[in-house]
Amino acid sequence: DQQVKQNSPSLSVQEGRISILNCDYTNSMFDYFLWYKKYPAEGPTFLISISSIKDKNEDGRFTVFLNKSAKHLSLHIVPSQPGDSAVYFCAATPRTPLVFGKGTRLSVIA
Amino acid sequence: GAGVSQSPSNKVTEKGKDVELRCDPISGHTALYWYRQRLGQGLEFLIYFQGNSAPDKSGLPSDRFSAERTGESVSTLTIQRTQQEDSAVYLCASSEWTGRNQPQHFGDGTRLSIL
């Protein structure tokens, strides 16, 4: 049973526009959420996180929104750049270890 | 080194053979994690080590899988009598401690292919 779901396996966005990546979770014990970015043949790299006591966290072009009642979070990238093309994983935890979604492949088209 | 180092980067072996995968965490990181990613799947937790505490082995899929860690240094993941379903990318990560707000830093993984 998947506790963290990324229902869109892929997403294409024009350079300069907004990319929105979505993630849903089922376990109400999850209270800390992270996004990781992965390029081919490399390990995932940490991007941004959010605690359940917040509903928004922003870091430069990246913003994560959390809707606890809907058990939904999203990652917004504005403006999108070609270098953002990668697979993005949503992860959640009540404690170590992390539970990951299957990832969304983002393609930013120049 | 500056990051988490894994070796080998690729490993091809025949079904039934044993394999050992190595992970060198970031110096000073007390927590070390192993994950695997099978084709089209997310990252699947296998095991983690925190300092000298007993490891959390709850994610190991079978008794063919085992892992060791020497102090707060190198870790080895061993798969005995490999099966084709063991084919995956095996990822190691480390963090300063196991607090949930400590980002895990990943190595580039070992791509394991079982023929």
Is A89–B43 a contact, with Cβ atoms under 8 angstroms apart?
A: yes
**Which candidate, B113, B87, B114, B93, places its Cα nearest to that of B3?**
B93
Nearest CA in chain B to A94: B100
The per-residue pLDDT for B1 is: 52
A-contacting residues of B 64-103, CB under 8 Å? 91, 93, 98-101, 103
Is B106–A44 a contact, with Cβ atoms under 8 angstroms apart?
A: yes
The per-residue pLDDT for A51 is: 93
Q: What is the DSSP letter of B55?
A: P
The per-residue pLDDT for A26 is: 94
Give residue A59's domain range.
4-109
B5-97: CATH architecture: Sandwich (2.60)
B105 min Cα distance to partner chain A (Å)? 7
| Beta-sheet strands, E only, within A26-103 | 32-38, 45-51, 56-59, 62-67, 72-77, 86-93, 99-100
Q: What is the CATH number of the domain that holds A45?
A: 2.60.40.10
Tokens of A42: 């490399």
Digit-by-digit pLDDT tens for chain A (110 residues) are 679 999 999 999 999 999 999 999 999 999 999 999 999 989 999 999 999 999 999 999 999 999 999 999 999 999 999 999 999 999 998 776 889 999 999 999 99
Name the stretches of chain B with pLDDT < 70. Answer: 1, 98-100
Q: What is the DSSP letter of B102?
A: S
The per-residue pLDDT for A109 is: 96
Chain B environment of A91 (Cβ under 8 Å): 43
The per-residue pLDDT for B98 is: 65
The per-residue pLDDT for B100 is: 66
- Give me the number of domains chain A comprises: 1
Q: What is the DSSP letter of B56?
A: B
A52, A63 Cβ separation under 8 angstroms: no
Give me the residue from B44, B100, B109 closest to A43, CB to CB.
Answer: B109
| Half-sphere exposure for A108 (CA within 13 Å, toward CB) | 19
